[in-house]
Amino acid sequence: MAPTIYDLTEALQSKLYIPGMPDCNGDMILTVCRYIIKLCSSRKDEQDDKVISLLQQLNNSVENSCIDHLDEDQSFIIMLKSFVPKLKVFLKVPNSKSTTLNPIELLAVFIDFLLEIWDDMTHYKDSFESCQTELKFFITFLGDKPASQSTSLDENKNVLTDIEDVANDVGSFLYSYFFYIGEEDWTRDNRSKDLALADILGKVEQVKEKIKELCIAASWKMLTPKTSVVSLFLFDSLLDDLNLLMIQKYETSIDVKDQIRTIIEELKSLRTFLEDVEVQKHPELEGFLIQTSDIAYEVLYILTSYAPVWYLNLRLPQVMEKIKLIRLPLEKLNKYPTEQVSSQDEKPLEDIVVDFRADANRIAGMLKDVENPSQKAPSTEEDIYVGLDDEANEITEILLGNQKKQQIISIWGMPGLGKTTLAKKIYGDDRVVKYFHKRAYCVISQTYDKKNTLIAILASMSSLERDELSKLDEETLGEKLYKSLCGEETRFLIILDDIWKDVWSDLQRYFPENQSGSRILFTTRFEKIGSQASDECIVRNLRFLTDDECWELLKIKVFHNVQLEDIGELEDIGMTIARKCGGLPLAVVVTAAVLANIEKNKAKWEEVAKSLSSNISKDNSCMKILELSYNYLPMHLKPCFLYFGAFEEDREIPVQKLISLWVAEGFVQKVNKKQSNVVSYGYLTDLISRGLVQVGKRRSDGGVKTCYIHDLLREMCLTIAENDNFMKVVQE
């Protein structure tokens, strides 16, 4: 556990004078201490534990003393003097094997730490400015992946080793300069200091020469993808940033400014062509957009980092070469619009548009699409309960039964079976609404939070506002809930959706066991949850849909509930697709959304059938089917959908917050705020119509106020996002 150093921080920032350490800088020591805490928390080492323990003792010593008289506290002074020499080992680049960072990341973090120390050296900043400048450039180089990681392993290793040696020399230099313990060290030799600094700068020049050689030798064909999930509007956002940067940062550097201007114009040209090719209809071309976006990211990184002009003059021409390599195949497609995209694709590329449209027409077209959102797929908000009627009636009869003693009913089954849909159907049944005096529906999920759960239950049963309830502590909330349900005549129904282990044991005491016929209903993935809650718990395993039920649900979703006696050539292939859904309603819904958004002909449906895994089993999570729905999304919707993975599981997301984040991330065309919001809302309604996003609450005018996604779809978002380097979850 990380130590608490609040008292030590206050002491070291109080201009403490330490006898025998006249130049000891408290701020600098604190910088090292904070670095030690961060480093030690990410690795296990006995030596680290000793230093952390001593650091905690120092803090405790301050806590037990008076800060104003610490100069006179010999026990504290002695302890501090014994602590400072132990810091020396941390002024060397740590071993990457003991941390989660790779060697390049670790080296960059360490150099940044050295720069923090230098920032604390207020009296000597001018003396070290040149060395600080070079260290900042090293961080830039380490982060410039196409330059630092695109050559041979041996060449990279040599340069990284040289940079590490320089960083270690700087660390030793800083230690020797500030941490003098003995009396003999009070008088310093300025000449020896100057020689040491000159030696470091000499090594830096040697490393820079090697970096130049690396840049020249780096393959122009090697691109380091920022992400394989892109949108044209994200690309626009990057171009806007590049334009702004050129104006703000490089007004006096004519050569660099001209190179940037040329690159921007080339990127704009590529972007316009890719838009007109309608990338979403030709997945083979999406790679070109990814590569083009990579180049924009690369330029943006180089320009926003601390890079000298000589480095820019090496790297920017390389970027231009990369653009040329991308342009060649695209120019060929433009010249031969009927040529096949690849030798494996039997269809010619037929929809290439060579007349570039004006920005105004493009935006107007987008707004028109938003005003008349896709009508191809039905809303998943409709109450469609194929195969659930019998289950719902049986469980409802149990809830309304004559049993006066409180009962617990548990519905369990794998994700995607429709447990939540069934629970909501039961909760809204007119008979249930009339029978129970109080009802509450609460989603639990893996990220169980006791206080939030109590607030949700109380808020759904009373007129109390969540904001008011959130001011109360857990025990007060629990007591309030218990009292609201207490009473021999009070009959309540509590539905706990997606409950996991140990949750009921934590909440049980807040639900009084009266004799009025109250009921607790669980939905869960695990059979044992119910039996562990009560020996008398009624446990129901939700069944899979039959093939006929899957086909019935598929038809309803694809054909908008229209009664079709005969769908002709689609009957057989439709049944095949339905069978491949494995009896999972969620798989049927997302597959139906794919079918609803493509042409309704046999050839197109056969393509979908081939894409579906032929060995979907009832034991797996049907990820292959769910991924199919993602693969068929238009390119501009993919990043918007994956972004749902960044939100907490089973939590409703305010729509206004969501679309603002989409615009900020560059997923939506940058026009004025009102138009951007309209476009974003159109994207959301499209995702809802495709069965990938659910409506939580609606506004008074019928618009969507909150939304959420199924936890299985969220898992898919996280998997794809991490695989495609779109987003990384640090900790769940």
* pLDDT tens-digit map of 430-448: 899 889 999 999 988 777 8
Is residue 618 scored above 70 in pLDDT? Answer: no
- What's the number of domains the chain is made of? 5
Question: Which pLDDT value is given to residue 728?
Answer: 61
Is residue 468 scored above 80 in pLDDT? Answer: yes
Distances (CA, A) of 243 to 251, 295, 300, 682: 12, 15, 10, 28
pLDDT band at 154 (very low <50, low <70, confident <90, very high): low
Would you say 461 and 438 are in contact if contact means Cβ atoms under 8 Å apart?
yes
Q: Judge if 453 and 526 occupy the same domain.
A: yes
The type of residue at 288 is F
Is residue 185 scored above 50 in pLDDT? Answer: no
Q: Judge if 42 and 189 occupy the same domain.
A: yes
Is residue 462 scored above 50 in pLDDT? Answer: yes
pLDDT digits (tens, 9 = 90+) for 567-615: 778 888 988 888 888 788 888 888 888 888 788 888 888 888 877 754 4
Q: What is the dihedral of CA 98, 102, 107, 112, to 10 degrees?
A: -100
Domain assignment present for residue 521? The answer is: yes
Q: How far is CA 282 from the centre of its chain?
A: 27
Written as six digits, the tokens of 42 are 């990410």
Q: Judge if 95 and 126 occupy the same domain.
A: yes
Is residue 145 scored above 60 in pLDDT? Answer: yes
Average pLDDT over residues 621-630: 71
Average pLDDT over residues 184-189: 47
Q: Judge if 551 and 537 occupy the same domain.
A: no
Domain assignment present for residue 729? The answer is: no
Q: 145-154, 177-186, 541-550 — which one is most confidently predicted on average?
A: 541-550
Is residue 520 scored above 90 in pLDDT? Answer: yes
Lowest mean pLDDT, pick from 161-170, 355-364, 419-428, 672-681: 355-364
Domain assignment present for residue 373? The answer is: no
Written as six digits, the tokens of 361 are 């027409």
- Rounded to whole angstroms, the Cα distance separating 117 from 111 reads 10
- Rounded to whole angstroms, the Cα distance separating 141 from 146 reads 10
Q: Quick one: the chain helix, strand, coil %, rounded to 5?
A: 60, 5, 35
pLDDT digits (tens, 9 = 90+) for 332-344: 555 544 344 443 4
Question: Which pLDDT value is given to residue 396?
Answer: 94
pLDDT digits (tens, 9 = 90+) for 503-516: 898 899 999 988 88
Q: Judge if 569 and 528 occupy the same domain.
A: no
Q: Judge if 164 and 151 occupy the same domain.
A: yes
Chain position carrying tokens 């070291």: 12
Written as six digits, the tokens of 622 are 């049907």
The chain-wide mean pLDDT, for the chain, equals 74
Distances (CA, A) of 717 to 57, 394, 416, 456, 560: 46, 35, 15, 26, 27
The conformation of residue 340, written as its DSSP 8-state character, comes to B
Q: Judge if 165 and 255 occupy the same domain.
A: no
Neighbours of 660 (CB within 10 A): 16
Q: Judge if 624 and 640 occupy the same domain.
A: no
- Rounded to whole angstroms, the Cα distance separating 146 from 295 reads 10
Lowest mean pLDDT, pick from 183-187, 297-301, 372-376, 398-402: 372-376
pLDDT band at 5 (very low <50, low <70, confident <90, very high): low
Distances (CA, A) of 160 to 98, 106, 306: 18, 11, 18
Is residue 222 scored above 60 in pLDDT? Answer: no
Chain length of the chain: 732
Q: Which of 217, 246, 280 is the last residue of a domain?
A: 217
**CATH number of domain containing 690:** 1.10.10.10
Domain assignment present for residue 224? The answer is: no
Average pLDDT over residues 367-380: 32
Q: Judge if 298 and 412 occupy the same domain.
A: no
Domain assignment present for residue 599? The answer is: yes
Question: Which pLDDT value is given to residue 511?
Answer: 92
Question: Which pLDDT value is given to residue 398?
Answer: 93
Question: Which pLDDT value is given to residue 666?
Answer: 81
Q: 28-37, 134-143, 512-521, 707-716 — which one is most confidently predicted on average?
A: 512-521
Question: Which pLDDT value is given to residue 375?
Answer: 32
Is residue 661 scored above 70 in pLDDT? Answer: yes
Q: 71-85, 301-315, 649-663 — which one is most confidently predicted on average?
A: 649-663
Boundaries of domain holding 43: 6-217
Q: What is the DSSP string of 11-29?
A: HHTS----TT-TT--HHHH
- Rounded to whole angstroms, the Cα distance separating 400 from 398 reads 5
Q: CA geometry: angle at 309 spanning 303 and 313, to 5°? A: 85
Domain assignment present for residue 362? The answer is: no
Q: Judge if 601 and 658 occupy the same domain.
A: no
Which of 592, 692, 581 has its CA nearest to residue 645? 692
Q: Judge if 162 and 259 occupy the same domain.
A: no
Q: Provide the 3-class DSSP secondary structure of residue 408.
A: strand
Distances (CA, A) of 448 to 17, 488, 498, 649: 50, 30, 10, 10
pLDDT band at 653 (very low <50, low <70, confident <90, very high): very high
Question: Which pLDDT value is given to residue 345?
Answer: 43
Question: Which pLDDT value is given to residue 216?
Answer: 64
pTM, rounded to two decimals? 0.48
Domain assignment present for residue 728? The answer is: no
Bridge partners of residue 522, in order along the sequence? 410, 496
pLDDT digits (tens, 9 = 90+) for 280-332: 455 556 666 677 777 777 777 777 766 776 677 777 777 777 777 776 666 65
Q: Judge if 406 and 308 occupy the same domain.
A: no
**CATH number of domain containing 619:** 1.10.8
Distances (CA, A) of 131 to 89, 123, 128, 196: 22, 16, 5, 12
Domain assignment present for residue 689? The answer is: yes
Question: Which pLDDT value is given to residue 6?
Answer: 65
